[in-house]
Amino acid sequence: MIAVLAPGQGAQTPGMLAPWVEDPSSAALLDELSSAADLDLADLGTHADAETIKDTALAQPLIVASSILAFRALEARSPGFVPSLTAGHSVGELAALAIAGVLSDVDAVRLVAVRGRAMADASAVTPTGMSACVGGDAEEVTAAIEAAGLTAANVNGSGQIVAAGTLEQLAAFAEQPPAKTRVVPLAVAGAFHTEHMRPAVDVVGSAAGGLAAADPRVTLLSNRDGVEVTSGVEALERVVAQIAHPVRWDLCCETMLSRGVRAAVELAPAGVLTRLARRTLPGVTARALSTPDDLAAAVELVDTDTEGAS
């Protein structure tokens, strides 16, 4: 059983699309996605610097488009491949909806562009951010986050919880971190998945209301609680609501293990979830599909898993 995973904001890196646009099919698809986002994603993904693509309004469509490009390239290299399960971390859920067939690629990117702009606007109201808390006792870390007036916005499992709130709150928290905990600021420009994002929910919900949502063709997990969502309408509603609610990636991982996932491919811009999988998905072989050079290894993993399941 193989899972296809899509990363969230913070995974973006300068030049991440440069190797993909060398392929004519990927370049053509990217043109379509750029039109949907009303952005030049090829230019952003090849020439923009790290500070530019940190902008939420740019980072989110860029990340989701990258994941979609990587998945379609994997499909082309392994005809007939259908993942057993898909899940996306935070904004990666929009890519997962496209992979599961809930939304078309174009609609997924069109919606994530609205999401990115709305969340950027919400972030501009108050200077906010996010910091990863690595290590320590999970209960103690969560209690300390709440005591500091912050929100445990991402619970990633295996000793990683992301705190979110105002920059002032985060700075004070970092000065006196919980025992045995390292606090690492993240390259995001807002307190995502907290009440600070509440203004964006209605904006994105209105845009989502105009889209046709099909029921998932493959098992689709929700960030809310790690459960399978079988209704396309519900999946879309959950993704919208998730903007202002914590991501429970730890519960998604628990579901993957309970469902018997044996292998996972993380789509571009890959790396974060693959590294996390080494601790949160014991016994699962994970591969990062960052560039076209990684396709051979991803195809081998897909083919091997398919043979083992037959």
Work out whether strand 151-155 and strand 285-288 pair parallel, antiparallel, or are unpaired. Answer: unpaired
How far is the C-alpha of 137 from the C-alpha of 306, rounded, in Å?
Answer: 38
Neighbours of 278 (CB within 10 A): 11
DSSP assignment string, 120-181:
HHHHHHS-EEEEEEEES-HHHHHHHHHHTT-EEEEE-SSSEEEEEEEHHHHHHHHHSPPTTE
Q: Which residues lie closer than 8 Å to 51 by C-beta, 6 or more apart? A: none
DSSP H stretches of helix in the chain: 24-37, 41-46, 50-53, 56-77, 92-99, 105-125, 138-147, 167-175, 198-208, 232-241, 249-258, 272-280, 295-309
List, by residue number, the catalytic residues: 90, 193
Q: Which residues lie closer than 8 Å to 31 by C-beta, 6 or more apart? A: 42
How far is the C-alpha of 58 from the C-alpha of 61, rounded, in Å?
Answer: 6
Token pair 């609205």: residue: 114
Task: Write the single-letter amino acid at 204.
Answer: V
Task: Write the single-letter amino acid at 86.
Answer: T
Contact present, 55 and 120 (Cβ < 8 Å) = yes
